[in-house]
Amino acid sequence: MDILEVIKQQVESNPVIIYMKGTPQMPMCGFSSRAAQALQASGEPFAYVNVLENPEIFQNLPRFANFPTFPQIYIDGELIGGSDIALEMLQSGELQEAMKAANGKSGQEQSA
């Protein structure tokens, strides 16, 4: 399967997913750390992909949504952005609302 198809499948099958350097428990860059902390602070479940473990995703994800940097957060199939946007949305309450709505639509366990 083409790597862009794999990414598309991950984004569509997970209500909330973050592509990050490292894991939420062991982030490997400050931006990924802040973004994962924002998602964790929402109290809602989310999936993650460690782009450092998958060079194909690392190389091709920027092409997927024409967004050049990491982390990338997708909610309900839509790219919301990276750590700055996630932190702004967390502070305004939008992040929790969006994640809750996306998770409510699916009613499924998360796995990337």
DSSP summary character for residue 76:
T
Q: Answer whether residue 31 is part of any domain.
A: yes
Q: Answer whether residue 49 is part of any domain.
A: yes
CA–CA distance, 26 with 36 (Å, rounded to integer): 10
Q: Answer whether residue 72 is part of any domain.
A: yes
How many domains would you assign to the chain? 1
What percentage of the chain has pLDDT greater than the value 70?
Answer: 94
Is the pLDDT score of 112 beyond 90? no
State the CATH number of the domain containing residue 14. 3.40.30.10
The predicted structure's pLDDT at residue 109: 46
Taking the whole predicted model, whether its pTM rises above 0.85 is answered as yes
Q: Answer whether residue 104 is part of any domain.
A: no
98 is in an annotated binding site: no
Q: How far is CA 42 from the centre of its chain?
A: 13
**CA pseudo-torsion sign 34, 112, 49, 68:** negative
Residue-range definition of the domain harbouring residue 15: 3-93
The per-residue pLDDT for range 18-42, each reduced to its tens digit, is 999 999 999 999 999 999 999 999 9
Q: Answer whether residue 111 is part of any domain.
A: no
**Mean of per-residue pLDDT scores for the chain:** 94
Q: Answer whether residue 74 is part of any domain.
A: yes
The predicted structure's pLDDT at residue 91: 97
The per-residue pLDDT for range 40-66, each reduced to its tens digit, is 999 999 999 999 999 999 999 999 999
Q: Answer whether residue 99 is part of any domain.
A: no
Count CB-CB contacts under 10 A for residue 112.
Answer: 17
Q: Answer whether residue 106 is part of any domain.
A: no
